[in-house]
Amino acid sequence: MIFHTGPTKPALMLLCCMGTWLAICSLPFGAPTAKIGTILEFLKGDLEELYKNYSKCQAAGMETDESLQLPCFTPGCEASANISTIKAYLEEVERLNENNISTAHIRKRLDDIRCSDPPKPSVSGPEDFYERKIFTLTVFKRLSDCMAKLGAKNNTSG
């Protein structure tokens, strides 16, 4: 379970540096700019914490699968399709971990910034115990990196 102790400096920096991107994307996402910024701030923290906790407690010493690539958030029309794909991966992580890992709050935040409901892609992970851990670790790492990249792009363009 993830506990929020308050805003952190990196999360606030991400929010401040996203002005240009948020101004461009507020209409395609279908949510007010301030709401998107807040949601993205929480997503960044949630995903980073989820990855760190999983890598320390469940997958200590394991490496990610470099061949597994996930879409990242993009402004414009692709946003909803990418969010649907990301949600499918998160649901598969829960299934593979027999619902011992909850990503419901992250999926809810993703729904809040999605402007349409494209078909959900089919995602299937490995059934081998060790491979499931690598799959889960990789999904969390890719999504955490995605949010960090999003902040870095906006840091240079804002």
What are 83-135's pLDDT values in tens digits? Answer: 999 999 999 999 999 989 999 999 999 988 888 888 889 999 999 999 999 99
Cα radius of gyration (the chain): 15
Instruction: Give the span between the Cα atoms of 42 and 29, in whole angstroms.
Output: 17
8 Å CB contact between 54 and 143: no
Which pLDDT does position 154 carry in this prediction? 55
Number of other residues whose CB lies within 10 A of the CB of residue 96:
21
pLDDT band for 76, please (50, 70, 90 cuts). low
Task: Tell me the C-alpha distance between 71 and 82, whole Å.
Answer: 6
- What does the mean pLDDT of the chain come to? 79
Please give the Cα distance from 105 to 32 (Å, whole number). 20
Using a pLDDT cut of 70, give the percent of the chain over it. Answer: 71
